[in-house]
Amino acid sequence: MQRIGEFQVDRIVETAGPWALLTELLPDLTPALMADHGDWLRPHYVDPAEDRAVMSFHSFVLRTGHHTILIDSCGGNDKERPLRPIWHRQQHPYLARMAAANVHPEQVDYVFCTHLHADHVGWNTQLRDGQWVPTFPNAKYLFHRREYEFWEQAHRAAVAAGAPIPNHGSFGDSVLPIVDAGRAVFVAGDHEITPGIHLEPAYGHTPGACFLHAKSRTAHGVFIGDALHSPAQLGDPSLSSSFCWDRAMSARTRQALCERYADTDTLMFAAHFPAPSVHLWVRHRNGFKIAE
C-alpha cells in the first residue's frame, strides 16, 4: 500500500516474473547501456541468467476517500489469445487479490485504462454464461476518445476484411461489451475525473495513451502506463519498445517525463515494473535511474 497525501494506492498483481529478452522488448538496446546501468538493473529488473526483463502485470486501485478508481485492468481470465500463449485462457486469482485489498468489483466507481492494449483492458469484462459482461458493474469506464476511435476503426476494418483482428481481439471482448452495456464514457486527454485526479496526453506508445495524475495535499503521483516498460529505459529514454505505435513520439514523451520528474518528490507508478512498481527517479550518468 502506498500513500499520495490522503489518497491510498494498492497494487493488484495478475502475474509477474522474467518475461521477454530485454533485446526483444527494447530492440535498440546497446551493450554500452547495460555496461553503464547493469549494476542497478540486475538482478531485480533484469534477470541475469538470460537478460530477460523482469516485469509485472498489475492494476493500481486509487482510493480518494470519495471514489475508488481502478487504473489498468491487466489481461483478464478466459480470453482467447492464441498468438500470445502466456495470455491465452488465463486463470489468475485477480479478483481474490483485489478482495484481499478490501476492494470488491461493485465498489469501483471508475475504471481508467491508460491505453487499450490487451494487457490493460482484460478485466474490464468477465465471462458469464458465454457472454462478456462488465466486471465492475457500477463503474464508469473512461476511454480517451482518440484511443478508442483508433482501435475501433482497426477492429472493424479487420472484421469487414476477414483479416486478423488487431490487438489479440481485445477490443471485441474487453472494450465493445462495455460500450454495449452503456458503461463507457468518452473523455479528452486533459479530463478531470474528480478534484485532484486528472489525465494528461502521453501519445506515442499508442495514439491516445494518457498519464493519470493524482494530487493530494502536497503529494503527487503519476500513473505512467507503458511510457516505460522496463527501468532500462531510464538509462536511455530514447529506447522505445517493440510494441510502440510511434517510436519517435514515444521517445519524446518518455524523455519529457524523465526530465520533468527526476530529482523531485513525485512518485512514479509504472504499469510493468516489478514490485514495488512505485519509485522516485533521479538523474544518473547520462540518463536516469530509480532512486535507492
What confidence category does residue 133 fall into, taking pLDDT thresholds of 50, 70 and 90? very high
| Mean pLDDT on 195-216 | 98
Q: Residue 121: its pLDDT value, please?
A: 98
- The domain tally of the chain equals 1
Residue 292 in this model has a pLDDT that exceeds 90 = no
Residue with cell 458493474: 137
The strand pairing partners of 184, in sequence order, are 141
Q: Report strand pairing: 197-201 vs 210-216.
A: antiparallel
User: C-alpha grid cell for residue 45?
Assistant: 529488473
Q: Residue 223: its pLDDT value, please?
A: 98
Provide the strand spans (E) within 43-171: 46-47, 52-63, 68-71, 110-112, 125-128, 131-134, 140-144
Residue 239 in this model has a pLDDT that exceeds 90 = yes
Longest Cα pair distance anywhere in the chain, in angstroms?
55
Cis peptide before 43 (omega within 30 of 0): yes
Residue 269, SS3 per DSSP:
strand
Tens digits of per-residue pLDDT, 244-266? Answer: 999 999 999 999 999 999 999 99
Domain enclosing residue 209, as ranges: 2-290
Q: Name the residue among 217, 222, 227 with its Cα closest to residue 198.
A: 222
Average pLDDT, the chain: 97
Q: Residue 198: its pLDDT value, please?
A: 98
Residue 147 in this model has a pLDDT that exceeds 90 = yes
The strand pairing partners of 58, in sequence order, are 13
Find the CATH number of the domain harbouring 41. Answer: 3.60.15.10
Please, are residues 38 and 46 in contact by the beta-carbon 8 Å criterion? Answer: yes
Instruction: Please give the Cα distance from 203 to 263 (Å, whole number).
Output: 24
Instruction: Please give the Cα distance from 178 to 133 (Å, whole number).
Output: 7
Neighbours of 96 (CB within 10 A): 9
